[in-house]
Structure 1
Amino acid sequence: MEGVIRKQLLYRTGVEYGDYALNHVLGCAHGCKYPCYAFLMNRRFRNISYDDWIKPKLVDNTIELLEKELPKLRGKAKYINMCFATDPFMYNQPEVIKLSCDVIALINSFGIPVRTLTKGVYTLVVAKVSNHPENSFGVTLVSLSEEFRRKYEPNAAPVSERIKSLFAMHKCGIRTWVSIEPYPTPDIIAQDIDELLESVSFVDRIVFGRWNYGKLNYPDPDRFYREMAFKVLEFGKKEGIEVVIKKEVRISG
Structure 2
Amino acid sequence: MEIQEIEVNSFLTKSKSFDHVFNPYRGCMHRCKYCYAHYMKDYTQHKEAWGDYVDVKKIKRYHIPKNAKRIMLSSVTDPYQPIEAKYKVTRNALKHLIGFSGTVSILTKSKLVTRDIDLFKQMEHVEVGMSIATVDEKFRRIMEEGASPIKERMEALKKIHDAGITTYVFVAPMLPKLTNYKEIIRESKPYVDYYMFDTLRLKGENKTWVMEEIKKHAPTLLPLYQQIYNQGKRHYFELLSKQIEEFCIQEKVEYQLFF
TM-score strictly above 0.5: yes
- Provide the C-alpha distance between the structure 2 equivalents of 1:232 and 1:52, rounded to a whole number of angstroms: 32
Q: Deviations over 1:132-190 (max 9, x none)?
A: 2420001110100111111111011111101110111011110011111111012xx3x
- Provide the C-alpha distance between the structure 1 equivalents of 2:112 and 2:27, rounded to a whole number of angstroms: 20
* Partner residue, 2:94: 104
Q: What amino acid maps onto 1:65 in structure 2?
A: R
- Provide the C-alpha distance between the structure 1 equivalents of 2:23 and 2:84, rounded to a whole number of angstroms: 16
Task: Report the TM-score when normalising by structure 1.
Answer: 0.82
- Provide the C-alpha distance between the structure 2 equivalents of 1:33 and 1:86, rounded to a whole number of angstroms: 13
| Unmatched runs of 5 consecutive residues or more in structure 2 | 208-221
Give the length in aligned residue pairs.
232
Cα shift at 1:103: 1.2
The 3 A distance-change label for structure 1 pair 60 and 196 is same
Q: What amino acid maps onto 2:242 in structure 1?
A: F
2:33–2:144: 8 Å Cα contact kept in structure 1? yes
RMSD over equivalenced CA pairs, Å: 2.3
- Provide the C-alpha distance between the structure 1 equivalents of 2:53 and 2:42, rounded to a whole number of angstroms: 18
* Partner residue, 2:193: 204
The 3 A distance-change label for structure 1 pair 7 and 173 is same
Cα shift at 1:37: 1.7
Match of 1:9 among 8, 11, 14: 11
* Partner residue, 2:210: none
Q: What amino acid maps onto 1:55 in structure 2?
A: Y
Task: Report the TM-score when normalising by structure 2.
Answer: 0.80
1:91–1:157: 8 Å Cα contact kept in structure 2? no
Q: What amino acid maps onto 1:110 in structure 2?
A: F
SS of the equivalent of 2:111 reads: coil
* Partner residue, 2:240: 228
- Provide the C-alpha distance between the structure 1 equivalents of 2:249 and 2:82, rounded to a whole number of angstroms: 32
* Partner residue, 1:29: 29
- Provide the C-alpha distance between the structure 1 equivalents of 2:109 and 2:251, rounded to a whole number of angstroms: 24
Q: What amino acid maps onto 2:158 in structure 1?
A: F
* Partner residue, 1:58: 56
